[in-house]
């Protein structure tokens, strides 16, 4: 099969668009979609200048998605004096899984203009995910605990470094899974939160929100294209499945989505285009009903809508 653009050997057939692409044109296509998303979400404001640059904190797990995100951001903005890049890695305490991906993260940033910081659940919360999954005090999937702890650390470090934006490597598959999970669970509040926290253009976010805004520049790119991009570009990335991932509801939705996409190419894109409209409506509705700003956690001072943040509630349950 030949590349539609240059006639060289194709490395991928993109079923949802019908395109055959060689390695060079696949990488160009991914770069273009990521840069377009950064522009359309208004992630680099006009107010950013060399004298007053913005700080972007990248969640770098060392897996292929966050590694490709870090690579593209370093390639695009590494020499741009309006942007300072910091990558943060978090060790969850999962035996046989995270050590290798953090080594990959370290070698990725070694020769790129990105500051690197790392921490762990053990350092921040005095616990390891393997122990949490074993204890399971609230009878939940491991990812439900893990997501809360990770979000808490990302927010705290973003605040510590005075970051203007927190960027994560969520891809199109991840976002379509989240959309389906919210729909299957009938969780309209979560849809609104998803839109407000990471899908809305930056200028449409609440200016007085205590949370550092989040962004997902890879959210238009399917996981398979990111994996190929990482391999073709020799990006150091650790490709392995977390031993706790199959226990989650997300794992079930992931399998369903893969089947749907194989039978009906383009399903992920259609889900996201309709879901974004729905989530925006839910967010608008939620704002109309809201009174007053979010409070702070009485334990740790993190922003929260209740008396205690979710991370402190979970830690208390694990004591």
Residue 174 counted as an annotated binding residue: yes
Q: DSSP letters of the chain?
A: -B-TTT-SBPSEEETTTTEEE-HHHHHHHHHHHHHHHHHHTT-S-TT--SSS-EEEEEE--SSHHHHHHHHHHHHHHTT-TTEEEEEEEEE---TTTHHHHHHHHHHHHHTSS-EEEEEEHHHHHS--HHHHHHH-TT---HHHHHHHHHHHHHHHHHHHTT-SEEE----HHHHHHHHHHHHHTT-HHHHHHHIIIIIS-GGGS-TT-SSPPEE-TTTTS-HHHHHHHHHHTT--------TTGGGSHHHHHHHHHHHHHHHSTTHHHHHHHHHHHHHHHHHHHHHHH--S--EE-TTT--EESSSS-HHHHHHHHH-
| Residue 78 labelled as part of a binding site | no
242 among the known binding-site residues?
A: no
Q: For residues 43 and 68, which CB has a smaller minimum distance to ligand SF4 in the complex?
A: 68
Query: Given the complex with ligand SF4, which of 3 and 148 has the nearer CB atom?
Result: 148
Q: Is 31 annotated as a binding residue?
A: no
User: Looking at beta carbons only, is 84 or 92 nearer to ligand SF4?
Assistant: 92
For the bound state, the minimum distance from the C-beta of residue 22 to ligand SF4, rounded and expressed in Å, comes to 33
CB of 201 to ligand SF4, least distance (A): 27
CB of 32 to ligand SF4, least distance (A): 29
Nearer to ligand SF4, 26 or 146 (CB): 146
CB of 242 to ligand SF4, least distance (A): 3
Report the interface residues with ligand SF4, using CB under 6 A: 92, 129, 142-143, 146-147, 242, 244-245
Binding residues are 3, 6, 22, 25, 59-61, 65, 90, 169, 174, 297, 300, 309, 312
Binding residues for ATP are 59-61, 65, 90, 169, 174
């Amino acid at each position: 099969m030949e590349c539609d653009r240059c006639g060289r050997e194709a490395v991928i057939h993109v079923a949802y668009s019908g395109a055959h692409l060689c390695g060079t044109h696949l990488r160009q296509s991914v770069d273009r979609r990521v840069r377009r998303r950064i522009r359309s979400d208004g992630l680099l404001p006009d107010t950013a200048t060399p004298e007053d640059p913005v700080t972007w904190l990248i969640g770098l797990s060392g897996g292929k998605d966050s590694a490709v995100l870090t690579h593209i951001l370093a390639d695009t903005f590494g020499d741009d004096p309006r942007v300072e890049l910091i990558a943060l890695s978090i060790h969850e305490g999962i035996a046989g899984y995270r050590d290798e991906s953090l080594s990959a993260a370290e070698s990725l940033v070694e020769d790129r203009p990105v500051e690197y910081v790392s921490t762990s659940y053990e350092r921040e919360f005095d616990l390891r995910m393997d122990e949490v999954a074993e204890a399971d005090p609230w009878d939940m999937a491991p990812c439900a605990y893990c997501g809360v702890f990770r979000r808490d650390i990302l927010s705290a470090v973003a605040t510590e470094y005075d970051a203007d934006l927190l960027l994560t490597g969520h891809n199109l598959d991840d976002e379509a899974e989240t959309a389906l999970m919210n729909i299957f669970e009938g969780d309209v509040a979560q849809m609104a939160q998803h839109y407000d926290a990471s899908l809305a253009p930056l200028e449409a976010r609440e200016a007085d929100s205590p949370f550092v805004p989040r962004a997902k520049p890879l959210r238009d790119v399917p996981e398979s294209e990111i994996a190929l991009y990482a391999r073709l570009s020799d990006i150091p990335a650790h490709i392995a499945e977390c031993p706790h991932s199959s226990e989650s509801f997300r794992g079930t939705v992931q399998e369903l989505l893969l089947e749907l996409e194989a039978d009906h190419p383009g399903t992920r894109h259609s889900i996201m285009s309709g879901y974004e409209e729905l989530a925006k409506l839910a967010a608008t509705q939620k704002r109309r009903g809201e009174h007053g700003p979010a409070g702070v956690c009485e334990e740790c001072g993190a922003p929260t809508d209740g008396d205690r943040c979710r991370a402190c509630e979970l830690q208390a349950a694990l004591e």
